[in-house]
Amino acid sequence: MDMDSATHRLAAVLALDVAGYSRLMRADEGGTHRALKRHRAELIDPLISSFRARIVKNTGDGLLAEFPSVIDAVACALAIQHGMIGRRREDDANTIVFRAAINVSDVIVEQDDIFGDGVNVTARLEALAEPGGICLSQATFEQIRDKISAPFTDMGEHYLKNIARPVRIFGLSPSEIAALPQDAVPVAKVLLDDPPKPGRNVRHSSVAVLPFVNLSRDPEQDYFADGIVEGIVAALSLFRNLFVVARESALSYRGRNLELPQVAAELGVRFLVTGSLQRSGERVRVSAQLVDTESGGTLWADRFDENLSDIFALQDAITERTVTAIEPRIVFSEMERARRKPPESLDAYDFYLQALSLRLALTAAANEQALQLLKRALALDPNYAPALAHAAACYAAQNDQGWGSPGPREIEEGLRLAWAAIEADINDPVALCLSGHAISALTGDFEAGAAWIDRSVKLNPNYAEGWMRSSMVRVYLDDLGKAHEFADRAMALSPLDPKIYHPLCAKGFAYFFERDFAQAARVARQALLGRQKPEMAFRILIASLVAQGAADAAKKTTEEFLVRYPKFRISDWRSRSKFTADRRFDPMEDLLRKAGIPG
pLDDT digits 0-9 by tens, 453-506:
999 999 888 888 999 999 999 999 999 999 999 999 999 888 878 889 999 999
Answer yes or no: do 361 and 412 share one domain: yes
In a domain, 455, yes or no: no
Distance CA 208, CA 198 (A): 15
State yes or no: pLDDT of 199 exceeds 70.
no
Answer yes or no: do 223 and 148 share one domain: no
State yes or no: pLDDT of 444 exceeds 80.
yes
Task: Count the alpha carbons within 13 Å of 381 in the hemisphere toward its beta carbon.
Answer: 17
State yes or no: pLDDT of 442 exceeds 70.
yes
Q: Is 549 left (phi over 0), alpha (psi -120 to 50) or beta?
A: left
State yes or no: pLDDT of 191 exceeds 50.
no
- Residue 104: strand pairing partners: 12
Answer yes or no: do 231 and 252 share one domain: yes
Segment 299-345, tens digit of pLDDT: 888 888 888 777 778 778 888 888 888 888 888 787 777 766 666 55
pLDDT-derived band of residue 540, with 50, 70 and 90 as boundaries? very high
pLDDT-derived band of residue 586, with 50, 70 and 90 as boundaries? very high
Q: Tell me, what's the pLDDT at 489?
A: 92
Length of the chain: 599
State yes or no: pLDDT of 186 exceeds 70.
no
Answer yes or no: do 259 and 308 share one domain: yes
Q: How many domains does the chain have?
A: 4
State yes or no: pLDDT of 46 exceeds 80.
no
Rg (CA), the chain: 26
In a domain, 201, yes or no: no
Distance CA 481, CA 502 (A): 16
Least confident of 20-34, 111-125, 308-322, 568-582: 111-125
Reported for 512-520, long-range contacts at CB under 8 A and 24+ positions apart, including other chains, are: 512/540, 512/543, 512/544, 512/588, 513/475, 513/478, 513/480, 513/584, 514/480, 517/543, 517/544, 517/545, 517/547, 517/548, 518/544, 518/548, 520/544
Average pLDDT for 522-536: 91
Instruction: Kindly state the percentage of the chain with pLDDT values over 90.
Output: 29
Answer yes or no: do 268 and 366 share one domain: no
CATH of the domain at 189: 3.30.70.1230
Answer yes or no: do 504 and 404 share one domain: no
* Last-in-domain residue among 399, 421, 448: 448
For residue 202, the 8-state DSSP code is: P
Q: Tell me, what's the pLDDT at 512?
A: 95
Q: In degrees to the nearest 10, what's the CA dihedral of 406, 411, 414, 419? A: 160
Answer yes or no: do 439 and 547 share one domain: no
State yes or no: pLDDT of 364 exceeds 90.
no
Least confident of 2-16, 136-150, 392-406: 2-16
Q: In degrees to the nearest 10, what's the CA dihedral of 236, 220, 287, 494? A: 30
For residue 255, the 8-state DSSP code is: T
In a domain, 236, yes or no: yes
Q: Tell me, what's the pLDDT at 448?
A: 92
Segment 279-295, tens digit of pLDDT: 877 788 888 899 888 87
Answer yes or no: do 352 and 313 share one domain: no
**Residue 497 belongs to domain spanning:** 462-599
Average pLDDT for 547-566: 93
- Residue 271: strand pairing partners: 207, 292
pLDDT-derived band of residue 70, with 50, 70 and 90 as boundaries? confident
CATH of the domain at 277: 3.40.50.10610
State yes or no: pLDDT of 200 exceeds 60.
no
Answer yes or no: do 263 and 382 share one domain: no
pLDDT-derived band of residue 451, with 50, 70 and 90 as boundaries? very high
Answer yes or no: do 472 and 383 share one domain: no
Average pLDDT for 41-59: 78
State yes or no: pLDDT of 85 exceeds 70.
yes
In a domain, 2, yes or no: no
Query: Please, are residues 201 and 171 in contact by the beta-carbon 8 Å criterion?
Result: no
Distance CA 494, CA 157 (A): 52
State yes or no: pLDDT of 6 exceeds 60.
no
In a domain, 454, yes or no: no
pLDDT-derived band of residue 422, with 50, 70 and 90 as boundaries? very high
Instruction: Kindly state the percentage of the chain with pLDDT values over 70.
Output: 89
Q: Tell me, what's the pLDDT at 110?
A: 63
* Last-in-domain residue among 146, 161, 193: 193
pLDDT-derived band of residue 183, with 50, 70 and 90 as boundaries? low
* Distance (Å) of CA 87 to CA 92, 191, 400: 9, 10, 54
State yes or no: pLDDT of 192 exceeds 90.
no
CATH of the domain at 471: 1.25.40.10
pLDDT higher for 193 or 75?
Answer: 75
* Distance (Å) of CA 177 to CA 48, 132, 133, 134, 428: 18, 9, 7, 9, 31
pLDDT-derived band of residue 597, with 50, 70 and 90 as boundaries? very high
Answer yes or no: do 512 and 548 share one domain: yes
409: enclosing H helix or E strand? helix 408-424
* Last-in-domain residue among 193, 219, 244: 193
* Distance (Å) of CA 530 to CA 333, 361, 527, 541: 19, 10, 7, 15
Burial class (CB in 10 A: 0-12, 13-18, 19+), 89: exposed
Answer yes or no: do 167 and 230 share one domain: no
Average pLDDT for 379-384: 88
In a domain, 334, yes or no: no
Segment 215-267, tens digit of pLDDT: 876 777 777 787 788 888 888 877 877 878 776 667 777 777 778 888 888 77
In a domain, 595, yes or no: yes
Average pLDDT for 424-442: 91
In a domain, 95, yes or no: yes
Distance CA 420, CA 434 (A): 12
For residue 194, the 8-state DSSP code is: S
